[in-house]
Amino acid sequence: MVLVGSFFLPNAVAEVTDMRRFDNLILIDTQSIRFDSAPELSLLDRLLIAANTSTESLPLKTGNVMDGDAAAECVLRELERFSRLSPWDVDYSGYAVEESTASLMIDTMIPTLNMVVWDLTLTDTSDNTIMVTVDDEMGIILRLVVRWRSGNVTMTGADSSGASTPSDAELYNVAQVLTEMMTDYYGLHVELADYLFSETFSYYKAEIADSRISSIPMYGIIRANGFTMNERV
């Protein structure tokens, strides 16, 4: 059973099989509903929507382009691409999808700006966790949260003396490497715009630019046991 509000979902197209009116509420039985993301959305538009906490999300049974199996295959493939310059020695092929959901993300200020995404949680046998948001249409990672159990993963170039926490210089180096990873992955210019060290973790802001507009910020956090990319702020 699906409740449809045309003022809120301007891009909905339904195959209606039955309609009944109860007082002022219309209930529709439907086999499928298709949400078409706005064709004018660029990669930077999608990155902004994915990181915007003011967006609304409507759960979907599946995506427009990918189903659950295709989304899982896509995420594992994209993680391998993204990790080519990774400062951590990680084999993403050892991860399995624990949970996956499709949703329509809608800009509450401009509802016509919307897109379908998949949110997936992956784990391995050591209980390391990766949470990723991938665009259903482009198949590109929009948000990433990586959390490894302490001691499971060693940061490349980290202090080999056994220090429990990385230094400011080590975390700053990781921030720089992450911007290189994003440049390599997205094929756009990305540079480290701001960085703040805070004892056991660091905040960073990267600027990513395309030919259409100057740039947008991508915030994140770096820890000894993981990082985030395109943090929601």
168-186 and 68-82 helices, crossing angle to 10°: 120
d(CA 84, CA 17): 49
| Per-residue model confidence (pLDDT) at position 13 | 36
Q: pLDDT tens for residues 132-189?
A: 999 999 999 999 999 887 555 555 544 434 446 778 888 898 899 899 999 999 999 9
Tokens 């949970």 sit at which residue? Answer: 99
Q: What is the pLDDT of residue 156?
A: 54
Q: How high is the pLDDT of residue 17?
A: 32
What letter represents residue 188's amino acid? L
Parts of the chain with a pLDDT under 50? 1-33, 35, 37, 157-163
> What pLDDT, on a 0 to 100 scale, did the predictor assign at position 140?
96
The amino acid present at 56, given as its one-letter code, is E
DSSP-derived 3-state class of residue 100: strand
Please give the pLDDT value at position 88: 72
Structure tokens at 107: 């800009």
Question: Measured between alpha carbons, how far is residue 44 from residues 93, 104, 142 in Å?
Answer: 28, 17, 10
pLDDT of amino acid 134: 97
Cβ proximity of 118 and 71 under 8 Å: yes
Sheet (strand 201-209) strand order: 56-60, 96-106, 114-123, 129-135, 141-147, 226-229, 216-223, 201-209, 189-198
Beta strands in the chain (DSSP E): 12-22, 25-35, 56-60, 96-106, 114-123, 129-135, 141-147, 189-198, 201-209, 216-223, 226-229
Q: What's the pLDDT score for residue 160?
A: 38
